[in-house]
Chains A and B, each alone.
Chain A
Amino acid sequence: MLGAIFRDSLKNLSSNLLRSGLTMLGVIIGVASVIAMMAIVEGGQVWLVSSIERLGTNLLFVWKKRLTVEEKRMFAGRNLQLRYDDALAIRERFPELQVAPIIEIDGQVKAGERDYSGRITGTSQEYGEIRNFFPGKGRFLTTADLHEWRRSVVLGKTIAEVLFGTQSPIGKEIKIFMGVKKGGKDKQQEETNKQKGEKNEKEIVGEYRFVVIGVMQPKGEVYGQDYDEKIFIPATTLLRYFKGNNKIGQMIIHVPDRNRMDEFTQKLHQFLVQRHDGVDDIRIRNQGEFLSAVEQTLWTFRIVLGGIAIVALLVGGIGIMNIMLVTVTERTREIGLRKAIGARREDILLQFLIESTTISVIGGCVGIVLGIFAAYGFGNLVAESMPGGGDWGAVIKPTAIAIAFVFAVAVGIGFGLFPAIKASKLDPAEALRYQ
């Protein structure tokens, strides 16, 4: 009998295609938006996680903590600041870790008549491997470069092209200036910096010759930083020639085992505080924290977008209820006749419930297909319009499809229930003679 009722409901729906189609439209839009929005959020997650992990995995970031004036006074004379020898000590104490110190300064590079100003990064041989960033031509920095304070430089791809065009820069000489020569706009900047009481490094202007030993592979932009515009020199060389001290800005540390990240965070913290005469002036962040922060943001998106989609689906459900109420009224005489010849209440209930569910199931299926198209369409749009967004594709999970479908069916049953109950309760004698 179920089969017969189902065939009947299909027949009824197809007898008024425009009306059925318009009713389904609500469900279609609802389901499509659930699918599309979930796919976009999932895609965003994959993109964000991969863009974080593109720069290496299992990383710990060590910074110095900014101390208050009071703290500075209190701890005066103690061993503060993150220093290059901290990096060496860590390497010695924890041989299983890979440590890359990072010092960044503003500078200018010059080859013949062409020049370029950008950030110069002093680091160690470990950097490339840790950040998953390798030279395309030549080599990266080596232990020897660091030990001997060599004036070796590895150029980002864009910089190599700016300075040398199509020529190979390997073995060529370039000049590196520290800071920007005085005059114009920058002078004003210096003034403000002075007012803030910060020591302005740009005042020191050095100029040294470096030999290009390598050019990095293209990496593109990650988190607003263009890795193709980076210039790498040995950390020791940078400290010796451009800074005159051994303070470093940051350390990136690679932990071999993901499960030991927390353990090493703790150990390193303890170790560094000890080295800093018991002053806690460092901050260690776990890459996992970034990931969980991203995760949290994405959950917010999921809830907001999912909420919108579900509202759309509910509106679709109200559309179903509306049309089913009209249908029940239109078919009052049919209901009366069916009851007169032996349809029980539950037969009538089932008949109308199956009809509303059929609307929502068909609408749901169309919505799934449409949602998948919409999601991929959006993925392409992002890939074309957003710099670095090339990998943000829509990710459609089977669970998303299942959730959307279950919701659609639930809406069909939920909103079909009231009209169906109404139909099943009609008085047969009155219904038969309804005009």
Chain B
Amino acid sequence: MLITLSHINKIYTTGEVAVHALDDLNIEIEQGEFVAIIGQSGSGKTTLLDIVGCLSYPTNGDYWLNGAHINNLPDSELTTIRNRQIGFIFQTFHLLPRKSALENVQLPLMYAGATRTQQHDRAAEVLTMVGLQDRLNHHSNQLSGGQQQRVAIARALANRPALLLADEPTGNLDSQSGNEILLIFEELHRQNQTIIIITHDPLIAQRADRRITLLDGRVVTDEFTEPRAQAVLQGI
């Protein structure tokens, strides 16, 4: 099991009011799954992303990622896990301005301690994978939204993470660019990359193998598309 979330609670306290963002949540995700997490705003999607992405700790409950018991690890080790095991993709791309595509993709490699040559070679490699081999030295303001998101995907893939975590990756894109991004995800999925997409758009969720719907911090539905469902039924 790549991800095990067991009885996860997350409570935010702002002043007098305590908000129960996640309420006794249990999810298991296997290596190679392509999962969509669907929910209205306020359903706890973002909180779940933060916890799965090791950006914050659950209030209580247990989280295992690739065998590591995350909620017992100190902040510095969470940083390493984010760097090596998780590739983030955001709605607003989050590319650094005044930096080229190559430099943006090099960042996680730099924090992982790669040499400059290694950084350059690997960044060029992943940018080629997402079809940007001709845009290596373009700055983000010289790239279209779709291209920027592809740079972000390349950055997420740079350290060969166990998990790709995408938060509304097509939210700021037109439908054609959005589709291109989803095609990349599908291709990565064929290569056995574990992907979690967080979205409120059912059409996008349709592209995943598995859809988990959240409401008020709880899982309300957890459904598989045909091939996977059959595989589960057949006990494979």
Interface residues of A (CB under 8 A from B): 1, 4, 11-12, 15, 333-334, 337-345, 347, 427-429, 432
Q: Is the CB of A341 within 8 A of B88?
A: yes
Query: In the bound complex, do residue A342 and residue B80 qualify as a contact, i.e. CB atoms below 8 Å apart?
Result: yes
11 further interface pairs, Cβ-Cβ under 8 Å (given A341-B83, A342-B112): A337-B94, A338-B107, A341-B88, A342-B84, A343-B79, A345-B79, A427-B56, A428-B55, A428-B56, A429-B56, A432-B55
Instruction: Flag if B53 contacts A340 (CB, 8 Å).
Output: yes
Binary contact track B45-77/A, C-beta < 8 Å → 1, others 0: 000001001011000000000000000000110
A341-B108 CB under 8 A given contacts A429-B50, A429-B56: yes
Give residues of chain B (79-111) contacting chain A, Cβ–Cβ below 8 Å.
Answer: 79-80, 82-84, 88, 90, 94, 96, 98, 107-108, 110-111
Please report the C-alpha to C-alpha distance between residue A1 and residue B98 in the assembled complex, in whole angstroms.
18
Contact A342/B82 with A4-B110, A429-B50, A432-B90 known, Cβ cut-off 8 Å:
yes
Residues on the B chain within 8 Å of A347, using CB: 111
B-side interface mostly: helix
A339/B96 contact (C-beta < 8 A), A4-B110, A429-B56 known: no
Closest to B111 in A: A342
Smallest Cβ distance from A244 to chain B, in angstroms? 94
Interface size classification for chain B: 20 to 34
Question: Nearest chain A CB to B94's CB is how many angstroms away?
Answer: 5
Bound CA–CA A432/B55 (angstroms): 10
With a CB–CB cut-off of 8 A, which chain A residues contact B56?
A: 427-429
* Given A11-B98, A337-B96, A429-B56, residue A342 in contact with residue B83 (CB < 8 A): yes
User: For B84, what are the chain A residues with a Cβ–Cβ distance below 8 Å?
Assistant: 342
B47: nearest chain-A partner, CB-CB: A429
* Inter-chain contact B111/A343, CB cutoff 8 Å: yes
**In the docked arrangement, what's the CA distance between A404 and B113, Å?**
36
The 10 A-B residue pairs with the shortest CB-CB distance, nearest first, are A342-B83, A342-B111, A429-B55, A341-B108, A429-B50, A337-B94, A429-B56, A428-B55, A344-B79, A340-B88
Q: Nearest chain B CB to A83's CB is how many angstroms away? A: 88
Instruction: Supply 30 A–B pairs (Cβ within 8 Å), ascending by A.
Output: A1-B110, A1-B111, A1-B113, A15-B98, A334-B96, A337-B90, A337-B96, A338-B107, A339-B79, A340-B53, A340-B82, A341-B83, A341-B88, A341-B107, A341-B108, A341-B111, A341-B155, A342-B82, A342-B83, A342-B112, A342-B159, A343-B79, A344-B76, A344-B111, A345-B75, A347-B111, A428-B55, A429-B56, A432-B90, A432-B94
| CB <8 Å contact, A333 and B110 | no
